[in-house]
Amino acid sequence: MKNWIQAMRLRTLPLAASCILAGAAAAKTHGEINGFVLTLILATTFLLQILSNLANDYGDYSHGVDNEHRVGPTRALQSGAISQAQMKRALIITTLLTLFTGMTLLWIVFSPRAQFVQALLMLLLGVGAIAAAIRYTVGRKPYGYRGLGDLFVFLFFGPVGVLGTYFLLTGELDAEHLLLAMTTGFFSTAVLNLNNLRDHVNDAATGKQTLVVKMGFRKGKLYQIMLIITGSLTLAGWIILNGQTAIAWLPALAAIAQCALLSTVWKTDEPALLDPLLKKVALLTMLCALALFMTV
């Protein structure tokens, strides 16, 4: 059980919750939200994140990226604690569980209103999310090995996660909340970029062409600065449009803390020393979303 818990990387779940909490915060500006529906959204999102983590373990090991030169925690397959056959079964089970919670969510939200077209569209989006979680590192041509991981993280942790949650809770879409979606998208992409900065030497040696490998370590740090600053600006824009009191600016403290970390990123020349910043950036992203949810 300990090996499976480590393989699931439950520490990544708070980051996965960020876009859902941000979407729920946007929905609260619309009125009361259904707590049970929000719980189902979180459960489905957590299962998607666990699926992505297991698939990432399987894919990176299969492609030889998880080796003795890798920086960071040892993975389950890399250590031999879990076999490839066991991981395949886990991927199938997690996929089925994700489909079950997702379809239950869609039935509860859309069946009372007979909105079956909307339900079908959301189901297709959910299946796409499952495919994206697996195809990130699994398969002959995983998109994470071609520098497309950043784009997919931005989309699914940003517009898809935030606006999708808003739609499920309110039945509406509002372009105004795209600013908030961009915030969580940029901050979540910054977490991925830090991971890629840390691993860029081994990634390059094993053929994993992340954006950092393509652009180089120094430009990757400049990219990190752009992600955090742009995310902070879109957050400020959303608060200006939706904040009713001074306390609405509380989430900005997390963004300021994000910006404060950029000095450390820029001054760090040893990739392995960036590893502790991963947890900080992920935690600050979650705290920002939680503050948004609590203060709206």
Phi, psi of 51 (to 5 degrees): -60, -45
On the question of pLDDT at 224 being above 90, the answer is: yes
Question: For residues 73 and 16, what is the distance between their CA atoms, to the nearest angstrom?
Answer: 19
The residue to which tokens 């517009």 are assigned? 159
Q: CA-CA distances (angstroms) from residue 296 to 18, 42, 168?
A: 15, 19, 18
% the chain with pLDDT above 70? 97
Give residue limits of the domains in the chain. 2-295
DSSP-H helix ranges across 30-115: 35-62, 76-79, 84-110
Q: Describe the crossing of helices 251-267 and 178-205 by its angle, rounded to 10 degrees.
A: 20
Least trusted range by pLDDT, from 38-52, 68-82, 122-136, 278-292: 68-82
At 80, is the pLDDT very low, low, confident or very high (cuts 50, 70, 90)?
A: confident
Question: For residues 123 and 272, what is the distance between their CA atoms, to the nearest angstrom?
Answer: 40
User: Between residues 77 and 285, which one has the greater pLDDT?
Assistant: 285
Count of positions (residues) in the chain: 296
pLDDT for 71 equals 63
**What value does the mean pLDDT of the chain take?**
91
- pLDDT tens digit string along 116-156? 889 999 999 999 999 999 998 888 888 988 999 999 999 99
Q: CA-CA distances (angstroms) from residue 184 to 70, 191, 287?
A: 28, 11, 11
Least trusted range by pLDDT, from 44-53, 113-122, 285-294: 113-122
pTM of the model: 0.93
